[in-house]
Amino acid sequence: MSSAIYPGSFDPVTYGHFDIIQRAAKAFEHLTVSVLNNKVKSPLFSVEERVRMLEEVCKDIPNVTIDSFSGLLADYARKKHTDVIIRGLRAITDFEYELQMAQTNRKLVDHVDTVFLTTSLEYAYLSSTTVKEVAAFGGDITQFVPPCVAKKIYAKFQQREP
């Protein structure tokens, strides 16, 4: 097991994502964190902005590369010659969807396995959506996201940092 892909929306990256990135980077020789360009969702940040934030946040982890992709994750994994997909599991509510995705991806590419890392308890409640909601109402998000990300979110909402 030498390399893995951690796909997601990362709109934006939170400390919950970062915790998974750090732990996956320890378990694999190389980790590609890849931003999904999902045309269906309407994200707060462009793919380029999300990639840049991830690059900044992960700059001290030498075996992590940031990338982006569109289309099927299974096709992307095949293109990257990677057999392992990393996903984070927060609660039982994540499980049904994640199980379905993992099994679908395995049907599409039979050598691809999904490895689930359970969230650290202190981040179990955390989601990008919650962070954006708190920021939209001027709340303090500094305990949820790295400082460089908090700045970008506040700038989007044109609010002052508390």
In angstroms, give the least distance from the CB of 145 to ligand ADP.
Answer: 11
Catalytic residue, from 52, 78, 80, 90: name it. Answer: 90
Sites of contact with ligand ADP (CB under 6 A): 8-10, 14, 16-17, 20, 87-88, 90, 94, 119, 123, 126-128
In angstroms, give the least distance from the CB of 101 to ligand ADP.
Answer: 9
Chain residue at closest Cβ approach to ligand ADP: 16
In angstroms, give the least distance from the CB of 94 to ligand ADP.
Answer: 5
SS (H, E, C) the chain: CCEEEEEECCCCCCHHHHHHHHHHHHHCCEEEEEEECCCCCCCCCCHHHHHHHHHHHCCCCCCEEEEEECCCHHHHHHHCCCCEEEEEECCHHHHHHHHHHHHHHHHHCCCCEEEEEECCHHHCCCCHHHHHHHHHCCCCCCCCCCHHHHHHHHHHCCCCCC
Catalytic residue, from 9, 87, 128, 132: name it. Answer: 128
Respond yes or no: is residue 79 known to be catalytic.
no
The catalytic residue positions are 17, 41, 90, 128
